[in-house]
């Protein structure tokens, strides 16, 4: 019987496992790196053990340190979560060799699926449909997909459409795979374009029973990482569904699987092809839990302790949709900083690794939370999710909320017509102009706050003057507005530092306003605005030379592709940054000549640091 469980992970999955442990009366242990010292998962555990350092290799990926944390805390069991060491057979063996309980499949099963190359061979033997493997050095056909043999989550994966792209793609995939998983082996397979990504949740006990607990649609992806998931899939036939379930059960039986896992497939029409098997709990497991009315973590723990599964899985009910909320901009670049406010309203499930005041660091994945809605129909679940995202208060960091909303109301998504290339193309440019009334509301709220805090004559109305000579303006870095006199047609029905009610053209709108150091956030029914007040006497700023390429995020310089004096063309790679376990290509904004390179390989840089200077050349 498990009495004290250590979760060898961080963020929302650690909190998710702790939640079930509390319900079962199991004591919990968190581990944390230095950047995570104040993270919510640390505060929620009964005990917590520091893993000194920041980089994953020396903390969450260090097997000896994690085992030492088990000894120090008296943990008798380990749950790996997902990512990090969750699919590392050596870690599973080390846990068992230390006399601890491993909440996961046998190490042999992990090892069998740990190499995607070997996994495909075993699946073919089991009668599971697979795509042919290609030699990444001489594939013989295009387009193709270069993939890391170890790990997942879209890392170490590159699409190649022509022979000239192959060498660079293979090299880049190998580097990223080695950084993320400690194994740079890659392989290639034909690219099955416009296919669906559909996965089957399995659960197996120690007595040979295997459940296929429904399927999840995971086709909406960016950078080969999932963004929206749902259960069941809206676009496959009953015959395909049956084939997926049979194949998933065969896969589990072939390797003697025990516990929760996922078998992933590509589906195009009636064609089904095995992708990989994830020998762990998946990020998107909540949609299955809501539809089937189960707690997969609880089932994991019970199976680990020797329980027998009932004769068959429970019947599904309704539909569930999950949106992954990331701290990233419209170009999918991760963002770092302080999440000033995090509130999600409505009848939805929120699995989050953050809370108001959390710091998002450059060391780990940029996912903030999973927001999940369940309803009797797909339309009802999507409507709930849209309402929750629209009403969420997310202050201080740029997020992908607008992208998520655009997806959920997209005509093709609503029709269930998605595929793995769904987010490709310019249609998803979610940049929108700032609402002029939101700027006005911010100005009125700031003015009201200034009057409320005035040391003298605080009872006078905001902006009161003996002589009206000039209009009163509020200046923000993003926009400016005249608020006295009011714009024509606008009436103020109420204004204090935290709420402003305006009416224009007979329509009344309420704006909620939050104030932080150097930031004003406005939430309203039509959207939101984050505004940076311009001080009356701004501090002098350092001049940045024209043509400077600035770091879009904190990271490490992985490599520099050019030298001073080189002529470059628009879009050409200048250097590559590594941040949040991903490679980010920094390209030339125009044709020109490299005037300066101000960094070198291996250097850590802050967001906004000058990386290089490109002198523009007249065409």
Q: Which of 142-156, 206-220, 233-247, 430-444 has the lowest mean pLDDT?
A: 142-156
DSSP line for 555-601: EEEEEE---TT-EE-TT-EEEEEEETTEEEEEE-SSSEEEEEE---T
Higher-pLDDT residue of 51, 568? 51
Q: Is there a single domain that holds both residue 444 and residue 525?
A: yes
Global pTM reads 0.87
Please tell me the distance from the alpha carbon of residue 285 to that of residue 28, in angstroms, as a whole number. Answer: 21
Q: Is there a single domain that holds both residue 258 and residue 165?
A: no
The fraction of the chain above a pLDDT of 90, given in percent, is 68
123 to 197, 200, 235, 253: CA distances (angstroms):
18, 15, 25, 10
Is residue 43 packed enough to be buried (19+ CB in 10 Å), middle (13-18) or exposed (0-12)?
exposed
Please tell me the distance from the alpha carbon of residue 615 to that of residue 470, in angstroms, as a whole number. Answer: 43
Average pLDDT over every residue of 154-169: 87
Q: 111 lies in a domain? A: no
Q: 46 lies in a domain? A: yes
Q: Is there a single domain that holds both residue 416 and residue 330?
A: yes
Question: Residue 453: its pLDDT value, please?
Answer: 64
Q: 445 lies in a domain? A: yes
Highest mean pLDDT among 186-190, 221-225, 418-422: 418-422
In this predicted structure, the answer to whether residue 567 has a pLDDT above a threshold of 70 is: yes
Question: Residue 184: its pLDDT value, please?
Answer: 87
Q: Would you place residue 583 in the very low, low, confident or very high pLDDT band (cuts 50, 70, 90)?
A: confident
313 to 201, 250, 308, 334, 549: CA distances (angstroms):
11, 17, 12, 39, 55
Cβ count within 10 A of residue 206? 16
Average pLDDT over every residue of 557-585: 83
Q: 237 lies in a domain? A: yes
Question: Residues near 456 by Cβ (< 8 Å), separated by ≥ 6?
Answer: none
Q: Is there a single domain that holds both residue 520 and residue 582?
A: no
Nearest to 372 by CA among 319, 299, 327: 319
Q: Would you place residue 466 in the very low, low, confident or very high pLDDT band (cuts 50, 70, 90)?
A: low
SS (H, E, C) 460-502: CCCCCCCCCCCCEEEEECCCEEEEECCCCCEEEEEECCCEEEE
Give the residue from 159, 190, 221 where a domain finishes: 190
Q: Is there a single domain that holds both residue 165 and residue 232?
A: no
Please tell me the distance from the alpha carbon of residue 571 to that of residue 181, in angstroms, as a whole number. Answer: 29
Q: Would you place residue 581 in the very low, low, confident or very high pLDDT band (cuts 50, 70, 90)?
A: low
Please tell me the distance from the alpha carbon of residue 133 to that of residue 184, in angstroms, as a whole number. Answer: 17
Q: Identify the CATH number of the domain in which residue 375 sits.
A: 3.30.470.20
Q: Is there a single domain that holds both residue 216 and residue 306?
A: yes
Instruction: Note the pLDDT tens digit of each residue in 23-55.
Output: 999 999 999 999 999 999 999 999 999 999 999
Q: Identify the CATH number of the domain in which residue 175 sits.
A: 3.30.1490.20
415: its two tokens: 């029709």
573 in Cβ contact with 585 (< 8 Å): yes
For all residues of the chain together, what is the average pLDDT?
Answer: 91
Question: Residue 179: its pLDDT value, please?
Answer: 74
Question: Residue 333: its pLDDT value, please?
Answer: 85
Question: Residue 550: its pLDDT value, please?
Answer: 86
Higher-pLDDT residue of 370, 158? 370
Average pLDDT over every residue of 467-484: 87
Nearest to 344 by CA among 302, 398, 385: 385
Q: 560 lies in a domain? A: yes
277: its two tokens: 């098997």
Q: 123 lies in a domain? A: no
Q: 115 lies in a domain? A: no
Q: Would you place residue 385 in the very low, low, confident or very high pLDDT band (cuts 50, 70, 90)?
A: very high
- Count of residues for the chain? 619
Domain housing 163? 133-190
In this predicted structure, the answer to whether residue 464 has a pLDDT above a threshold of 60 is: no
Average pLDDT over every residue of 473-481: 95
Please tell me the distance from the alpha carbon of residue 527 to that of residue 84, in angstroms, as a whole number. Answer: 36
Question: Residue 538: its pLDDT value, please?
Answer: 58
DSSP line for 221-289: EETTEEEEEEES-TT--HHHHHHHHHHHHHHHHHTT--EEEEEEEEEETTEEEEEEEE-S--TTHHHHH
Q: Would you place residue 602 in the very low, low, confident or very high pLDDT band (cuts 50, 70, 90)?
A: confident
Q: Is there a single domain that holds both residue 31 and residue 180?
A: no
Q: Identify the CATH number of the domain in which residue 39 sits.
A: 3.40.50.20
Q: Is there a single domain that holds both residue 421 and residue 450?
A: no
Q: Is there a single domain that holds both residue 89 and residue 143?
A: no
Q: 122 lies in a domain? A: no
β-pairing, 27-32 vs 47-50, is parallel
Q: Would you place residue 114 in the very low, low, confident or very high pLDDT band (cuts 50, 70, 90)?
A: confident
378 in Cβ contact with 232 (< 8 Å): no
Q: Is there a single domain that holds both residue 88 and residue 161?
A: no
Question: Residues near 330 by Cβ (< 8 Å), separated by ≥ 6?
Answer: 402, 403, 429, 430, 431
What total of structural domains would you count in the chain?
A: 5
Beta bridge partners of 596: 613
346 in Cβ contact with 387 (< 8 Å): yes
Q: Is there a single domain that holds both residue 266 and residue 385?
A: yes
Q: Is there a single domain that holds both residue 15 and residue 70?
A: yes
Buried b / exposed e along 133-148 (16+ C-beta atoms within 10 A): bbebeebeebebbbbb
Question: Residue 585: its pLDDT value, please?
Answer: 83
Q: What number of helices (H) and strands (E) belong to the chain? A: 14, 35
Nearest to 369 by CA among 407, 408, 331, 397: 397
First to last CA, the chain: 74
């Amino acid at each position: 019987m498990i009495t004290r469980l250590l979760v060898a992970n961080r963020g929302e999955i650690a909190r998710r496992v702790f939640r079930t442990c509390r319900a079962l009366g199991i004591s919990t242990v968190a581990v944390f790196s230095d950047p995570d010292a104040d993270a919510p998962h640390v505060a929620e555990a009964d005990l917590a053990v520091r893993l000194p350092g920041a980089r994953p290799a020396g903390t969450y990926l260090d097997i000896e340190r994690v085992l030492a944390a088990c000894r120090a805390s008296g943990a008798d069991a380990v749950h790996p979560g997902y990512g990090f060491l969750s699919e590392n057979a050596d870690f599973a063996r080390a846990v068992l060799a230390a006399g601890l309980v491993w909440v996961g499949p046998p190490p042999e099963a992990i090892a069998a699926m740990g190499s995607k190359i070997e996994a495909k061979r075993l699946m073919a033997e089991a009668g599971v449909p697979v795509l042919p493997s290609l030699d990444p050095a001489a594939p013989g056909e295009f387009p193709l997909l270069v993939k890391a043999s170890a790990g997942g989550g879209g890392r170490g994966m590159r699409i190649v459409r022509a022979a000239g792209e192959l060498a660079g793609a293979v090299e880049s995939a190998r580097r990223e795979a080695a950084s993320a998983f400690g194994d740079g082996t890659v392989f290639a397979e034909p690219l099955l374009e416009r296919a669906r990504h559909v996965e089957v949740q399995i659960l197996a006990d120690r007595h040979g029973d295997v459940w296929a607990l429904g399927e999840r649609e995971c086709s909406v992806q960016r950078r080969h990482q999932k963004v929206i998931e749902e259960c069941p899939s809206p676009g496959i036939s009953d015959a395909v569904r049956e084939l997926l379930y049979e194949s998933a059960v065969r896969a589990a039986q072939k390797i003697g699987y025990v516990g929760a896992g996922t078998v992933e497939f590509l589906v195009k029409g009636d064609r089904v092809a095995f992708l990989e098997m994830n020998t762990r709990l998946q990020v998107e497991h909540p949609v299955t839990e809501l539809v089937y009315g189960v707690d997969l973590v609880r089932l994991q723990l019970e199976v680990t302790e020797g329980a027998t599964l009932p004769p068959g899985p429970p019947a599904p009910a309704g539909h569930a949709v999950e949106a992954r909320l990331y701290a990233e901009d419209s170009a999918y670049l991760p963002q770092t900083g302080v999440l000033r406010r995090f509130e999600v309203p409505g009848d939805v499930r929120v699995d989050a690794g953050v809370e108001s005041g959390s710091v998002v660091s450059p060391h780990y994945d940029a996912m903030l939370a999973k927001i999940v809605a369940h309803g009797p129909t797909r339309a009802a679940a999507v409507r709930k999710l849209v309402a929750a995202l629209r009403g969420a208060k997310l202050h201080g960091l740029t997020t992908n909320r607008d992208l998520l909303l655009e997806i959920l109301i997209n005509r093709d998504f609503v029709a269930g017509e998605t595929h793995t290339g769904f987010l490709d193309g310019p249609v998803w440019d979610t940049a929108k102009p700032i609402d002029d009334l939101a700027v006005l509301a911010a100005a009125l709220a700031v003015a009201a706050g200034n009057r409320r805090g005035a040391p003298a004559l605080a009872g006078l109305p905001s902006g009161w003057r003996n002589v009206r000579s000039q209009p009163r303006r509020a200046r923000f870095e993003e926009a400016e507005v005249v608020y006295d006199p009011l714009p024509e047609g606008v009436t103020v029905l109420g204004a204090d530092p935290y709420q402003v009610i305006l009416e224009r053209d007979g329509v009344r709108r309420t704006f909620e306003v939050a104030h932080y150091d150097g930031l004003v956030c406005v939430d309203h029914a039509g959207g939101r605005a984050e505004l940076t007040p311009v001080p009356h006497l701004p501090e002098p700023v350092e001049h940045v030379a024209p043509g400077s390429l600035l770091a879009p995020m904190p990271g490490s310089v992985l490599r520099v592709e050019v030298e001073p004096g080189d002529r470059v063309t628009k879009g050409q790679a200048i250097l590559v940054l590594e941040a949040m376990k991903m490679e980010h290509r920094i390209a030339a904004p125009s044709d020109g000549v490299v005037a300066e390179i101000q960094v070198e390989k291996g250097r850590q840089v802050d967001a906004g640091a000058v990386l290089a200077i490109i002198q523009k050349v007249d065409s």
